Amino acid sequence: METNIKIIGKISKIDDLKFRAKVIPFECKYCGRIFKIPQSSNFFKKTTPGPCVCGKKDFSEILEIITSEDIIEHQKGEIEIYNGLPRKFGIKKIPIIFENGLVNKNDVGETVELDGILSIYSVPKVNMDVFKKFVLNVKGYKKIVSG
Ligand SMILES: [Zn+2]
């Protein structure tokens, strides 16, 4: 489930800048065919090809032919929420992701207002409860200067 939200909070963690591919080329290990597979914005999942036309399903990634247009810069972090997330969720901190033009703009300890798309994943647990995992994909930010 995805929803647009605006939250106010304090940046509590910022990781180093990383890169990921929008499209990953996979080469069939048997016949050499190449499949360029678009990747979703879900950072927890890599999309791989289905079976090759030769019938096999064994691929290697050929990262050296990825072009710069197919690379997304991104930075993960975490925000301590003051305001903006419905209380029913009962959470105080959520992971955040900055991409491309929004990377390296925010520091730990800053109070910010973030616009973005909140993704909510349901992760089933052994005892049949479902626990929810949240990620905010930041689309805009505003620093809030206090005092
Ligand atoms: Zn093949």
> pLDDT tens, 92-126?
899 999 988 899 998 999 999 999 999 888 777 67
pTM of the model: 0.71
Backbone angles phi, psi at 65, to 5 degrees: -100, 10
Distance CA 39, CA 48 (A): 9
End-to-end CA distance of the chain: 37
- At residue 137, the pLDDT reads 92
Task: Tokens for 53, please give them.
Answer: 């036309």
Ligand 1 geometric centre to CA of 57 (Å): 7
Backbone angles phi, psi at 100, to 5 degrees: 40, -115
Ligand 1 geometric centre to CA of 44 (Å): 27
Distance CA 29, CA 48 (A): 14
Ligand 1 geometric centre to CA of 32 (Å): 6
Ligand 1 geometric centre to CA of 21 (Å): 23
Which among 2, 39, 49 is positioned nearest to 19, based on CA atoms?
Answer: 39
Backbone angles phi, psi at 70, to 5 degrees: -95, 10
pLDDT-based confidence at residue 128 (cuts at 50, 70, 90): low
Is the pLDDT assigned to residue 147 strictly greater than 60?
no
The full set of domains in the chain, from first to last, is 2-18+73-143 (2.40.50.140), 21-71 (2.20.28)
Is the pLDDT assigned to residue 22 strictly greater than 80?
yes
Ligand 1 geometric centre to CA of 66 (Å): 20
Ligand 1 geometric centre to CA of 30 (Å): 5
Q: Strands (DSSP E) along 29-70, which ranges?
A: 34-38, 59-61
- At residue 26, the pLDDT reads 96
**Span 75-98, mean pLDDT?**
87
Ligand 1 geometric centre to CA of 36 (Å): 14
CB 103 within 8 A of CB 73: yes
Which amino acid would we find at residue 4?
Answer: N
pLDDT-based confidence at residue 78 (cuts at 50, 70, 90): very high
Q: What's the helix, strand, coil split of the chain in %, to 5?
A: 10, 55, 40
